[in-house]
Amino acid sequence: MYELFSHVNEENLRTYVKAIEGLRHGWENTAALEKRADFIHDTFRSFGLMVENQEVPFHGRTFRNIIATFEGNIQEKEWLLLGAHYDAAQGSPGADDNASGIAVLLEAARIACKQKLNNTVQFVAFTLEEPQPETISFLIGSDHFARETKKAGRKYQAVFILESVGYTDHTEGSQIVPVLVRAKVPNTGNFLGIIANSRSEKALHSFIAHANMHVPDLVLVPYKVPLSGYIIPETRFSDHASFWKHGYPSLMLTDTAMFRNPHYHTRHDKFETLDFAFMVRVTKAVVSVIAALGDEEL
C-alpha cells in the first residue's frame, strides 16, 4: 500500500490547480470553463483512461461532465466513483472551490492507472455545481449524471466527492461549526471533514478505517447528518447530495469551505492560499481507500 504513496506528487497538484484556477462560472465564463474541460479531458486521456463527455443541457446551452473510466480486474464488483466539480462561483478564481478537488481527482486517477485494482473506478469532473443566474437550482451537472446513471441501472459500491480540499488554518478558533451540528468538531481548521447520510454510513466507516491506517497524520472529522442534511442545508451544498437524492451511498470530503476559508466564493480564493501538503495527505487517503475497497464489500 505504501508503494502507492510514493507516486503522489505535490508538484502535479500545484500544476493542476494552476491550470484550473481562474474565472470559470458556467453562465458568465462559458468559454473559459470549456478550456478547463478540455484540460481535464486531455489529462485523463494522457493517463490511458477511457474518456467520454456527457452533455448537460441548461437553458439553451450545452455543458459537459467529463467521465474517465478505469476498468478493474473483477467485472462483477460494483463500481467506485470519485468526483469533483470544475466550475467556480461567479467572480471567484476558485482555487480551493474547487480547483483543489479537481487536482486531487486528477492525481488519484493518475496513480490508479499504475495499479491493479479489482473495482472499476469512474473519475468524474462535474460541471455547473455552482448556482447559475437562470435558475434557483445548483448541482446541475451531478444531478444530471446521477439521474441518468440511475435510469441505466448502474450501481456504485461508494461515491466520494471532493469538495474544497485545499485550505487549512492552524490558528485556534479558525474553525466555525454550524449551530445544528451535533458532533465533536475541533476549533482549529486543519482537518478533513467527511459528511455522510444514513445510506452512506458503511462507506464512512470504511473510509475512516483505511485512511487512519495508511495516512495517520491526516486528521479526519466524520459527521453523519440526520435526515440526509435537510435540517442543515450547508451539508448538501455539493455534488454528493445529487447521489443521495438518487439513492447512492456518497460521502463529501471537504475542508468545510465557508466554515473555515475566509476567501470562499470571493476573488481572493487563489493558489497562494492553499496548503499543498494537506492536499497530498488527502490524495493519499483517497488512493488508499480506493485500493482497499477492491478487497471488501460494503
Supply the pTM of this predicted model: 0.96
Angle at 230 between CA 225 and CA 232, to 5 degrees: 65
- Per-residue pLDDT averaged across 123-132, rounded? 97
Q: Does the pLDDT of residue 294 top 80, yes or no?
A: no
Q: Give residue limits of the domains in the chain.
A: 2-293
The residue that leads in pLDDT, 114 or 248, is 248
Q: Which three cell numbers stand for residue 163?
A: 469538495
Average pLDDT over every residue of 156-160: 97
Q: Mean of the pLDDT values across residues 32-56?
A: 98
- The three grid cell numbers given for residue 219, joined into one nine-digit string: 486528521
CATH code for the part of the protein at 2-293: 3.40.630.10
233: confidence class by pLDDT, cuts 50, 70, 90: confident
* φ, ψ dihedrals at 150, nearest 5°: -65, -45
Give the model's pLDDT for residue 4. Answer: 67
72: confidence class by pLDDT, cuts 50, 70, 90: confident
Please check the confidence at residue 140 and state whether its pLDDT lies above 80: yes
Is there a contact between 247 and 94 (Cβ–Cβ < 8 Å)? Answer: no
pLDDT value, residue 223: 94
Q: pLDDT over 90 for what percent of the chain?
A: 83
Average confidence score pLDDT of the chain: 94
Is the pLDDT at 47 greater than 80? The verdict is yes
pLDDT of residue 1: 53
Using CA atoms, how far apart are residues 241 and 106, in angstroms rounded to an integer?
22
Asked if 20 contacts 36 with a C-beta cutoff of 8 angstroms, the reply is yes
Please indicate whether residue 72 or residue 53 has the higher confidence score (pLDDT).
53
